[in-house]
Amino acid sequence: MTKYVRDHSLSNDEIQRYSRQLIISEFGVHAQERLKNSSALIIGCGGLGSPAALYLSSSGISRLGLVDHDNVDISNLHRQIIHRETTIGKTKVDSAQLTCSQINSSLKIDTYNQLLTYENIMDIVKQYDVILDCTDNVITRYLINDACVLCQKPLVSASVIRFEGQLTVWNYIEKNGPCYRCLYPQAPPVETVSTCSDVGVLGPVCGTLGSLQALEAIKILTKIGDVLANRMLLVDGLSMNFRTIKLRNRQLTCAVCGINPSIIHQPAPPPFDQCNNDQPCRKSLLNQNERITANDLAKLNLSSFIIDVRPEHELNIAQFENSFHLPMDHLLYNNNDEQLRNELKSHIEKNQQIIIVCRRGNDSQLAVRRLKELLSDIDNIDEKIKDLEGGFQAWHTDVDSSFPLY
């Protein structure tokens, strides 16, 4: 029998499993071998982390780390395709591990059911070859970025909102690429940041960007192609427009990767409390005496004058009967304050209590502040206007579970 030779360590089973990758001329057996000896860490097992984990699990890497501290909820399933109805209530990392292990039983999977902090992130990040930021939290982005720079790890980062997404690779040393802080030195105020929990996202947008994150991770691990460093991909799913923009170079003055960094041994502590990657941040802009709980509002039998500041498309989901609709955008950005004042004044003056409601009790606080400015000449206006703490979510949880939760 004629002998044959092979210049690689792949088994026959691995050759058969990954054959469609092996026959790509730019990839081949040696790229597959690099995958076989590599590891990746996915932070966030949600809309982005789901497709990224699925494709990395099936690609042939040897080790995959999964980080999340949330549980699977029914509202996740339209976009977080790694989870199932049967895993609702389970931790996301356990749910994701189950699916990934069913795809590739030889894959070593580490799960971290915990909130990343500046105290624990370094010990996790340093174990892996490439890091994927699949979170929906701007403060966590700084935390992950700092850890990756300090541990000298490339960071594949994506974000999605509504129909749009962004993708880039931070801290790619081979290209002297910038880190996240090079472009955004300081975290913005929490009330200025929108997430998919606030304004929504279409599932396939997550699938597209998460899949591209997996692709960039594979390119980094196998050393093929042109890694998306020093550039950012912008995706508009509504117009199906994909374009790439150039990013500025690594900044010498950067606090973490510059020539005289102030962040040296561990990531900087967050400037304010972190929120769950997939759960909304509760803003606290008002004093407690400017707010009313759902239970206290229920005792009033909805006899107060209620102003709903949600956008119209959310109003169509459900609303309080006889509430007055004043969209937040109109309240903040209208061109005729006097007309709005006159429109509201008669309602305000003839009611003892004015309750402002929104989805989660965040926008309503901003609305209370704006209305007090707009109607400052009305007697006792500060005592009259309150926001519903926790919004319609609190009403659903504490008073009436038949009100739809979204």
CATH number at residue 135: 3.40.50.720
254 labelled ligand-binding: yes
Give first-to-last CA distance, the chain, whole Å. Answer: 67
Task: Identify whether residues 229 and 370 lie together within a single domain.
Answer: no
Q: Is residue 270 part of a domain?
A: no
Same domain, 231 and 307: no
DSSP assignment, residue 273?
A: -
Residue 283 pLDDT greater than 80, yes or no: no
Catalytic residue among 100, 134, 148, 358: 358
Q: Are residues 50 and 164 in the same domain?
A: yes
Is 76 assigned to a binding site? yes
pLDDT category at 281 given cuts 50, 70, 90 is: low
Would residue 337 count as lying in a domain? yes
C-alpha distances (whole Å) from 13 to each of 17, 18, 23, 60 are: 6, 9, 15, 12
Of 8-12, 21-25, 288-292, 339-343, least confident by mean pLDDT is 339-343
Please indicate if the annotation marks 20 as binding a ligand: no
Q: Are residues 149 and 29 part of one domain? A: yes
Mean pLDDT of 300-329: 89
Same domain, 301 and 173: no
Q: Is residue 38 part of a domain?
A: yes
Integer CA distances (angstroms), 262 to 57, 189, 277, in order: 37, 21, 27
Here the tokens at position 214 are: 């997996």
Q: Give the model confidence (pLDDT) of 343-379 as tens digits.
A: 888 777 677 789 999 999 999 999 999 999 888 888 7
Is 196 one of the catalytic residues?
A: yes
- What confidence tens digit (pLDDT) does each residue in 315-336 have? 999 999 889 999 999 998 887 8
Q: Are residues 237 and 305 in the same domain?
A: no
45 marked ligand binding residue: no
61 with 127, same domain: the answer is: yes
Number of folded domains that form the chain: 2
275 is catalytic: no
In this prediction the pTM is 0.82
Judge contact between 216 and 158, C-beta under 8 A. Answer: no
Among the options 100, 134, 196, 206, which is catalytic? 196
Q: Indicate if the pLDDT at residue 241 is higher than 80.
A: yes
Task: Kindly report the CATH number assigned to the domain that includes residue 331.
Answer: 3.40.250.10
d(CA 100, CA 67): 14
Tens digit of each residue's pLDDT (9 = 90 or more) over 47-96: 999 999 999 999 999 999 999 999 999 999 999 999 999 999 999 999 99
Provide the 8-state DSSP code for 113: -
- φ/ψ region of 322 (left if φ > 0, alpha if ψ in -120 to 50, else beta) reads left
Q: Give the structural domain span for 90.
A: 12-246
Q: Is 330 marked as a binding-site residue?
A: no
Q: Are residues 242 and 317 both part of a single domain?
A: no
pLDDT for the residue numbered 10: 93
The reply to whether 185 and 66 lie within a common domain is yes
Note whether residue 283 is domain-resident.
Answer: no
Tell me the C-alpha distance between 60 and 102, whole Å: 14
Residue 265 lies inside a defined structural domain of this protein: no
136 is in an annotated binding site: yes
> Which amino acid is located at 384 in the chain?
K
Average model confidence (pLDDT) for the chain?
91
Tens digits of residue pLDDT in 180-231: 999 999 888 766 677 777 788 999 999 999 999 999 999 999 999 999 999 9
* 230 and 91 in a common domain: yes
- Tokens representing 155? 């960071």
Asked, for residue 279, whether it belongs to a domain, the answer is: no
pLDDT at 277 over 50: no
Residue tagged 């690609």 (tokens):
59
- Residues 156, 302, single domain; the answer is no
State how far the alpha carbon of 69 is from the alpha carbons of 11, 23, 93, 95, 113, in Å: 36, 39, 8, 12, 5
pLDDT score of 5: 80
257 labelled as ligand-binding?
Answer: yes
Residues 47 and 166 in one domain: yes
Asked if residue 281 is part of any domain, the answer here is: no
Domain end, chosen from 215, 246, 277, is at: 246
Distance CA 248, CA 400 (A): 51
Asked, for residue 231, whether it belongs to a domain, the answer is yes
DSSP 207-261: HHHHHHHHHHHHHHHHT-S---BSEEEEEETTTTEEEEEEPPPPPTT-TTTSSS-
Q: How confident is the model at residue 383 (pLDDT cuts 50, 70, 90)?
A: confident
Residue 362 assigned ligand-binding role:
no
Distance CA 57, CA 55 (A): 5
